[in-house]
Structure 1
Amino acid sequence: MAVARKGRISAARRRRQQRLKIGATAGGLGLVVVVAFWSVIWPYLVGSLVLGGVAGGGWWLWRTDRFIRGGDRRWKHDEAVKAGHRTLAEVDAMTGPEFEDFVVGLCLQDGCTDVRRVGGSHDNGADVRGCLPDGRSMVIQCKRYTPKKKIPSPEVRDLLGSKVHFKADVAIFVTTTYFSGPAERFATENGILAVHRDHLGLWNNGASLVSLGAVNGSGQGDRRHRARWKETYE
């Protein structure tokens, strides 16, 4: 058995030696060809080296630019997070209470006062209460739904009842999705500020809550609403 094993080792060693001889022979022949035809080869060799250097330098600059841009995006994102901003994708991933706290934070950034989250099983249709910067009392309903699910009219009617119950001056419905047509009409006809997904993005990016009242009932991302907004406000 030991003899057979020794034979296998010797055969493997011979194969390695053969490969080394072949490699050495090929290398030697290559060197001979380079020396014999150096006057013809050297311009191509130099050109290849120059092109390789240019390509390598270009790749390095591209990688450096990507690194710097990526760092800049991360810095901007971190600063936005520190300022309370979130992307809509991050907002979509929030729980209901987290979304209510997020809305409270946006209100406080606008200068609203006495803002507090009151959502719960006995909230009487109000998730957030407080006062606008001008002193008017407000009641807010928050709904974190997927963008494909629309807010129906009954939920907006419940907010109107909450406004009456709390004797609030302003009722605001904030959602991560859009309103159905009847729900949007009911909101605008009854003085409810309907902050849908598009307006939430504006609010999150620095527009004030009060300024959204000027575009209440517009937007929602489709051609019909954009046309109506243009006809009304331009």
Structure 2
Amino acid sequence: MRKRTRRQLQGWGAVVAVLAAVWVAGNWAMVWPVLVAAGAIAVVGGAGWGLWRAHRIAVDRDRQWRAQEEAKARELSMAEVDALTWQDFERYVAELCRRDGCTRVVVSGKSGDLGADVVGYLADGRKLVVQVKKYAPERSVSSQDMQKFVGTARLEHGADVALFVTTCRAFTKAALGLAVRQDIVALHRDLLGSWVKGAHLATLIPLNGSGGGTRRPPV
């Protein structure tokens, strides 16, 4: 009984297919535009799906990369920061900037950069220019160091936010006073330590002028 029913269904299916073919042949002028439109929709839909999938893959990869950068930027203690070369320290500062949402972050990594060791853009679109000084903890950033950065940060590099980051514990009184007057954000060792431990850059910028640093024994 089941075999007979299956054969009947197959027979009716063949009849329907033949009738459909005959109808299409007799009405081709009306059918072909529909087929062309359906094909175009399929192509466009396939292309759109491919673009959406490529976008999702790119977004996922970017998210993974940022997560890796953030993890990398949080791994170091200040003792490990002290052990970095000045080139690695510049790259590490760039990683901290990326961790906090900065985009298009570039490390100069060469002499003659006129104070722009790291350049990027804050999340709100403002241009960030960073001067990085890898000094021994017991040293101080001099007024001369600050004067050089003041002279180039905005006039030469167009900084909206100018950041002076150092591993030493203090800015001299003259250097810090100049930074405050010229709206240069001075990040001494203690503030850098907070940044390394996870404080967001946006919370550190308003602390400029909160002291030249401390003279406590090295961490």
TM-score bin (small chain): 0.5 to 0.7
Deviation at 1:158, TM superposition (A): 1.1
Please list every run of at least 4 consecutive aligned residues from structure 1 whose deviation after the TM superposition is greater than 3 angstroms. Answer: none
Unmatched runs of 5 consecutive residues or more in structure 1: 1-78, 224-234
Counterpart check, 1:99 vs 2:89: yes
Q: Residue 153 of structure 1: which of 122, 143, 147 is its match?
A: 143
Residues 119 and 126 in structure 1, CA contact (< 8 A), matched pair in contact too: no
Q: Please identify the structure whose Cα radius of gyration is greater.
A: 1
- How far, CA to CA, are the matches of 1:118 and 1:83 in structure 2? 20
Is 1:214 aligned with 2:203?
Answer: no
The corresponding residue for 1:194 is 186
**1:169 counterpart = 2:155:** no
Residue in structure 1 matching 2:120, options 97, 119, 130: 130
Unpaired runs of 5+ residues, structure 2, are 1-67
**1:119, distance to aligned residue in structure 2 (A):** 3.2
Between 1 and 2, higher relative CO (CA 8 Å, sep ≥ 6) is seen in: 2
Equivalent in the alignment of 1:179: 171
Distance 1:126 1:146 in 2: 21
Q: Write the deviation string for residues 35-86 of structure 1: whole angstroms up to 9, x where unpaired.
A: xxxxxxxxxxxxxxxxxxxxxxxxxxxxxxxxxxxxxxxxxxxx9x944221
| More helix as a share of residues | 1
**TM-score using structure 1 length:** 0.58
Tell me the SS of whatever aligns to 1:84. Answer: helix
Q: Is the 8 A contact 1:140 1:173 kept in 2?
A: yes
**TM-score, length of structure 2 as denominator length:** 0.62
Distance 2:122 2:180 in 1: 19
Q: 1:156 and 1:84 mapped to 2: Cα distance?
A: 26
Paired residue secondary structure (1:147): coil
What does residue 7 of structure 1 align with? none
Deviations 1:85-142 (A, max 9, x none): 2111110111110000000000000000111101312201210011111110011000
Residue identity in the other structure for 2:143? S
Write the distance in 1 (CA, Å) between the matches of 2:111 and 2:208.
29
User: Is contact 1:171–1:193 with CA below 8 Å preserved after alignment?
Assistant: yes
Give yes or no for the alignment of 1:84 onto 2:73: yes
| Matched AA of 2:177 | R
What CA distance in whole angstroms lies between the structure 2 residues aligned with 1:170 and 1:157? 16
Report deviation, 1:221: 2.4
Contact map agreement 1:137 1:168 (CA 8 A) in 2: yes
Aligned residues: 145
Aligned amino acid, residue 173 of structure 1: F
Separation in 2 of the partners of 1:182 and 1:155?
Answer: 11
- Percentage identity across aligned positions? 44
Asked whether the 8 Å contact 1:139–1:162 carries over to 2, the reply is: no
CA shift at 1:161, angstroms?
A: 1.7
Q: CA deviation at 1:210?
A: 1.6
Task: Give the AA of the match of 1:84.
Answer: A
Over aligned residues, Cα RMSD in angstroms? 2.0
Q: Which amino acid aligns with 1:166?
A: H
Give the SS at the match of 1:158.
helix
What is the 5 A alignment of 1:41-56?
none
